[in-house]
Structure 1
Amino acid sequence: MPTLRSELDVTGDEYLTNRTHNLGMLKLLEEQLSEARAGGGEAYMRRHRERGRLTCRERIDLLVDPGSAFLELSPLAAWGTDFKVGASVVTGIGVVHGVECLLIANDGTVKGGTSNPYTWKKMLRALHIARLNRLPVINLVESGGADLPTQADLFVPAGQLFRDLTQLSAMGIPTVALVFGNSTAGGAYVPGMCDYNVMIDQQSKVFLGGPPLVKMATGEVSTDEELGGARMHSTVSGLSDYLATDERDAIRLGRQIVKSWNWTKLGPRPKPVVDPLYDPAELLGIASADLRVPFSPQEVLARLLDGSEFEEYKPEYGTSLITGWGTLHGYPVGILANARGVIFSEEAEKATEFIQKSNQVDTPLIFLQNTTGYIVGKSFEQGGIIKDGAKMINAVANSAVPHITVIMGASYGAGNYGMCGRAYDPRFLFAWPNSRTAVMGPQQLAGVLSIVGREAAAAAGKEFDEDRDRERTAVIEAQIEKESHAFYMSGKVYDDGIIDPADTRTVLGICLSAVHNNVVEGRRGYGVFRM
C-alpha cells in the first residue's frame, strides 16, 4: 500500500498560528471539562465524601480494568444552559474484565443525581450507541428521579430509557445496575429493567414512592428500609440479585458479573498495529484557525493511519474529496475526507461509488468533515448537482457498515448530511474544538437575509434601510457564530464529544474496537439512484 509523505513545515507561520489558536481552544475546553468533573461543586463533593460515598468518577475508575482507557461521551452536555455542564451524569466506554461496556453513572453531587432534559438526551444517546455496537450496559445508579421543575420537557421522552434497557436485554446485550444510593420514582425502573442488580446494605434505596409520598397517597407509615432497602429487596421482593457490604464490594460484584459472561466479539479481529510515521500531535498545527483556509486531508491521514499507508481511490477525479482505504489500530477502514470544502458533482459521484465498494467488502467508513456544502450556481444546477448529491446522500443513508464521523473544521449545509452528520446515525461522531456546524457560515447567512430583504423592499417599492440592515446583519452574524460553535453544538448532544486533534487516532481506535463487538457487514443492495 502506498505510504503518505508529509510536506508539513512545523516552523512555518501557518502551522504556528494554527497551533497557537488550537491550544487556546483546548485550554477553554479543559476549563469546561474541569467544571463537569467538579460535579455539584466543592461543598457538595465534600458532603458526599463525608457520607462515605465515592464520586461517580471514582466508581468508574474502580470498575474498569486497571490501566485501561475510558472514552467519556458527551462531557459538555447542557453547556450554555442553566444546568450544570455534564448534565449530572457521566457516560462512556470502559473495559471491564476485557469486555468493552457502555457505562452510565449518575452524579449524586448534582441535585442528588436528579435528571434534567439534557441528562435524558445524554443517556438515551449512550444506550443507542450500546444498541448499535452490541455493548453491554452497566448503570452506576444514584438517582433522585426527575428534576421536577423541568418535568414537562423530560417526562414523555424519559420513558424511552426503560424501553431501551428491555430491548437491549431482548437482543442478548446484558444490562447491569449497581445501585449506590437512592433510585427513586422513575429511577427505580432502571434496576427493575436490568438483567443483573447489585445493591448495598444500608445504602441502596429503590422505591417508586418514598415514605412521604406513600403517607400522602395511602396514609401508610413506612421506613426507607421497609419500602426499598437493599436487604428488603435482597430477601423479600427479589429485585436485588446481590447484596454488597459497601461500594467497593458492589464494584467487585459488578466486575464478577461481567467476568461470568464469556463475552465474545462478532466482528473480525484487528491486524497488528503499526504507528504512523508522523506525530499525531502535529494535527494541532494542521487544523485551520480560519475555517476559510483549507488544509490537507493527506497530512491528517499521515498522522492517523497505521504506517501512514493509504490506498487512494480515484485520486485524479473529484479532487476536493479524498477517498481511499487504510488501516487504523489494526482495523481496515475506508476514508472520505473533504479537501477544499465544496462538494461538486464529481465528488458526489466518487463518494457514492466508494461507499458502495466499501459495503461490498464490509469495510467501516470514517468521514472527516471540513465542508461548506454542495456547490450552487446556474451551471451546476443545470449539470445535476441535486441528483448527484442525492446519490451520495442515498449511499450514506443506506450504507450498512459502521460509520464514524469527525468534524475537523466546517460542517455546513447539506455537506453535513452527505458527510454523515448526526442525522445519518454514525456509530460515533466527534468534533475538533475549532469546528463549526450550521446551515452556512455567519457572513453568508447574514448576507443571504440581507439580499432577501433588499429584494423584498424593491418589490414593494419601498426604500431599503441600510442602517437597519447593518445592525441586523451584525446581530445575525453574532447569533450564528454563537450557535455554530463547537461547545454549543456539543452542549445540545449533537456530537459525542469534543476531542483534542492529537487524540483523534486513539479515539478512533477505541471506537473501531467497540464497533467490532457487533457484526461488521455491508449492504449489497441500494434504492433507486437518479442518473
Structure 2
Amino acid sequence: MAVLQSQLDTRSEQFQQNKEEMTAKLEQMDELYAEAARGGGAEALERLAKRNKMPIRERIAWALDPDSPFLEISPLAAWRSHVAIGSGFVVGVGVIEGVECVILGHDPSVRAGAFNHFNSKKLMRGLEIARENRLPYVQFVESAGADLRGGGGGGGGGGGAPVDPLLRVEGHFAESGRLFYEITELSKMRIPTISIVFGASTAGGAYQPGMSDYNIFVKNQAMVSLGGPPLVKMATGEDAEPEPLGGADMHTSTSGLGDYLAENEMDGIRLLREVMGHLNWRKLGPGPSKPADPPIHDPQELLGIVGEDLKKPFDIREVIARVVDGSRFEEFKPRYGPTLVTGWGSIHGYPVGILGNNGALMSESSEKASQFIQLCNQVDVPLLFLHNITGYVVGTDFEQGGITKNGSKMINAVTNSTVPHITVIVGASYGAGNYGMSGRAFGTKFTFIWPTAKIAVMGPEQMAGVMTIVQRGAAERRGAEFDEEANAQREAAVMANAEEQSKGLFATSRVSDDGMIDPRDTRDVVGFALSAVANDAVKGTKEFGTWRM
C-alpha cells in the first residue's frame, strides 16, 4: 500500500498562523474541561469528602483498568447555560476487567446528581452507544431524580458568560422516562447492565438500579426509594426513616433489590470488577488485522493544517497521513471526483475506509462516494468520514448535470450502509453536506469535532445574504422602499449570531456530537472507537434503496 507523501510546509506563514489559532482554541478547551472536572466546586467536593465519599471522576478512575483509556462523551455539555458545565453527569466508554463498556456517573456535587435537560441527553446518548455497539452498561448511581429547582447555579464558560434564555424551557420529564425503556432493552438484548448505588437515589434515580441486571449497594450510603421521606410524608402522612424505607441493608436483605452489599465505596468498586470479570464477555467483531505502526508524518503537525478561516483550503490527505497506520493509504478513484478523497487504510490495526472532503460535493464525487460505500459494505470494513464540507454545489449547470439526483444517491448509500460509521468534523460541516458525510442524524456510531469545527445549515454570509434577497423582494412586491441602513444592521446581527452558533463549542455544548478532541488525539480516539464498535458484528449490507440513474 502506498505511503502518503506530505506537501505541508511547516515553516509557512499560513501554517504558523493556523497553529497559533488552534493552540489558543485548545487552551480554551482545556480550561473548560478543567472547569467541568471540578463539578459543583470546591465546597461541594469538600462536603463529599467529609462524608467519606469520592468525587464521581475518582470513582470511575478506580473502576477502570490501570493505564486504560476513558473516552468521555460530551464533557462540555451545558456550556453557557444555566446548568453547570458538564451537566452534572459523566458519560463515557472505558475498560473494566478487559471489557469495553459504557459508564454513566451521577455527580453528587452538582445539584445532588439531579436530572436536567443536558444530562438527560448525555444519558440517552450513552444508552444509545451501548445498544448500537453492544457494550455493557455500568451506572454509578447517586441522584435526587428530576431537578425541581429549575435554573440558577451554573453556566460555565467563564465569568459573566451569557445564558441562552430558551434553554430555561426544558421539558425533560417526558424525555427522561425513555431511559427506563432503554435500560430494559439492553437486558433483553443480552447486554449486561450493572449499577453501584453510592448514595440517595429517588424517583428516576431509583428506577435505574431497579432496571439493572446486577446491583451493588454501598453500606450506610445507598438509599433507594421511589419517593424520599419528604414525598412519602406528603403523599401518605408517614414519617418514614431512610434506612427502613430504602437503605442498603434493607434492600440486600428484605426487598431483594440489592444483590451485593459493599462495606464502602472501594469495596463496591471491587465488587463491580468481580461482576464484570465473570460476564464471560466476547466481542463479535474482528480484532486488529494490520500493522499498527504510527504515522511517519508527525501528528503534532495537525495543529497547523486547519485554521479559523475555513475559506482557506487544505488537502485532507495531510490529515489522513497523520492519522492512519504508517501513513499508508490506498486511494480509490483518485482522478475522478477530486473534491472527495476516498480510500483504504488502517488505524491501530483496524482496517477502515476513509472519505474526506477536498471541496464542495459535485456529481462526480457523490457518485464516487456511493460506489465506495458499497464496496466497503461488500467487504465489511468500517467507514471514517472526515468533514470539511460547505455542502453540495448549487447552480443551473450543476442541477442539469444531476447534482440533486447524485447527491441523493450518496445520502441513500450513507443511510443504508450497515458497517460502523465514525465521523470527525475537522473543518466546516454545512447543510446537506453534513448529511451526505454521515452526520449525527445518520446513525454514525461516534461523532467527534476539532476545535475549528463549524456546523450550520449554511455559512453566516450566505444566511444573511439569502435573508436580504428575500426581504428586498418582499419590499419590491409591496411597492415599498427598501431600508438599506436597517438591512445592513440586520445583516450584521444575523451574521454575528450565525457565526457564534455555528462554532463547534456551541454544538458540542448542546450534545450535538460526542465531544471536542485535540487534533493530535484523533488517531487514538478513532482507534478506540473502532475497537468499541467491534464488540458487535461488523457486517455490511448488499441492500440499498432505489437509486435514480
- Scaled by the length of structure 2, the TM-score of the pair is 0.95
Helix, strand or coil at the partner of 2:171: helix
Which deviates the most, 79-88 or 245-254? 79-88
Residue 362 of structure 1: which of 365, 380, 389 is its match?
A: 380
Counterpart in 1 of 2:23?
A: 23
Correspondence 1:408-423 to 2 at 5 A: 408-423=426-441
Correspondence 1:102-501 to 2 at 5 A: 102-150=102-150, 153-271=171-289, 272-340=291-359, 342-501=360-519
CA contact (8 A) 1:116 1:147 kept: yes
Task: Give me the whole-angstrom Cα distance separating, in 1, the residues matched to 2:401 and 2:7.
Answer: 36
Aligned residues: 530
Task: Give me the whole-angstrom Cα distance separating, in 2, the residues matched to 1:62 and 1:167.
Answer: 28
Cα distance, 1:32 vs structure 2: 1.1
Task: Give me the whole-angstrom Cα distance separating, in 1, the residues matched to 2:331 and 2:86.
Answer: 40
Which deviates the most, 75-84 or 18-27? 75-84
CA contact (8 A) 2:77 2:118 kept: yes
Helix, strand or coil at the partner of 1:101: strand
CA contact (8 A) 1:321 1:339 kept: yes
Question: CA offsets, 1:249-296, max 9 Å, x none?
Answer: 000000100000111100011024111111111101112331001111
CA contact (8 A) 2:143 2:202 kept: yes
CA contact (8 A) 2:117 2:170 kept: no
CA contact (8 A) 2:243 2:250 kept: yes
Which deviates the most, 276-285 or 314-323? 276-285
Counterpart in 2 of 1:84?
A: 84
Helix, strand or coil at the partner of 1:95: strand
Cα distance, 1:351 vs structure 2: 0.4
Question: CA offsets, 1:368-390, max 9 Å, x none?
Answer: 00000001111111111111100
Helix, strand or coil at the partner of 2:177: helix
Counterpart in 2 of 1:95?
A: 95
Cα distance, 1:307 vs structure 2: 0.9
Helix, strand or coil at the partner of 1:404: strand
Task: Give me the whole-angstrom Cα distance separating, in 2, the residues matched to 1:14 and 1:289.
Answer: 11
Cα distance, 1:221 vs structure 2: 2.2
Task: Give me the whole-angstrom Cα distance separating, in 1, the residues matched to 2:397 and 2:48.
Answer: 65
Task: Give me the whole-angstrom Cα distance separating, in 1, the residues matched to 2:482 and 2:301.
Answer: 50
Task: Give me the whole-angstrom Cα distance separating, in 2, the residues matched to 1:485 and 1:478.
Answer: 11
Cα distance, 1:361 vs structure 2: 0.4
Question: CA offsets, 1:72-114, max 9 Å, x none?
Answer: 1100111121101111000001100100010000000001111
Task: Give me the whole-angstrom Cα distance separating, in 2, the residues matched to 1:435 and 1:216.
Answer: 50
4+ long deviations beyond 6 Å: none
Correspondence 1:56-95 to 2 at 5 A: 56-95=56-95
Task: Give me the whole-angstrom Cα distance separating, in 1, the residues matched to 2:292 and 2:368.
Answer: 29
Helix, strand or coil at the partner of 2:24: helix
The letter for the 2-side match of 1:501 is P
CA contact (8 A) 1:17 1:289 kept: no
CA contact (8 A) 1:288 1:294 kept: no
Counterpart in 1 of 2:527?
A: 509
Helix, strand or coil at the partner of 1:324: strand
The letter for the 1-side match of 2:40 is G
Cα RMSD after superposing both structures = 1.0
The letter for the 1-side match of 2:315 is S
Task: Give me the whole-angstrom Cα distance separating, in 1, the residues matched to 2:79 and 2:104.
Answer: 19
Task: Give me the whole-angstrom Cα distance separating, in 2, the residues matched to 1:291 and 1:187.
Answer: 44
Cα distance, 1:460 vs structure 2: 1.9
CA contact (8 A) 1:409 1:432 kept: yes
Helix, strand or coil at the partner of 1:395: helix
Which deviates the most, 452-461 or 412-421? 452-461
Task: Give me the whole-angstrom Cα distance separating, in 2, the residues matched to 1:152 and 1:125.
Answer: 17
Task: Give me the whole-angstrom Cα distance separating, in 2, the residues matched to 1:281 and 1:173.
Answer: 39
Cα distance, 1:142 vs structure 2: 0.9
**1:36 and 2:36 correspond:** yes
Cα distance, 1:152 vs structure 2: 6.1
- Scaled by the length of structure 1, the TM-score of the pair is 0.99
Helix, strand or coil at the partner of 2:337: coil
Counterpart in 1 of 2:46?
A: 46
CA contact (8 A) 2:200 2:222 kept: yes
Cα distance, 1:459 vs structure 2: 2.1
Task: Give me the whole-angstrom Cα distance separating, in 2, the residues matched to 1:321 and 1:480.
Answer: 27
Task: Give me the whole-angstrom Cα distance separating, in 2, the residues matched to 1:215 and 1:165.
Answer: 30
Question: CA offsets, 1:491-530, max 9 Å, x none?
Answer: 1111000000010001001100000000000011111001
Cα distance, 1:149 vs structure 2: 4.1
The letter for the 1-side match of 2:230 is P
The letter for the 2-side match of 1:142 is E
Which deviates the most, 463-472 or 280-289? 280-289
Task: Give me the whole-angstrom Cα distance separating, in 1, the residues matched to 2:116 and 2:307.
Answer: 36
Helix, strand or coil at the partner of 2:33: helix
Task: Give me the whole-angstrom Cα distance separating, in 2, the residues matched to 1:351 and 1:166.
Answer: 38
Cα distance, 1:47 vs structure 2: 1.0
Unpaired stretches in structure 2, ≥5 consecutive residues = 151-168
Question: CA offsets, 1:112-132, max 9 Å, x none?
Answer: 111101111010001101111
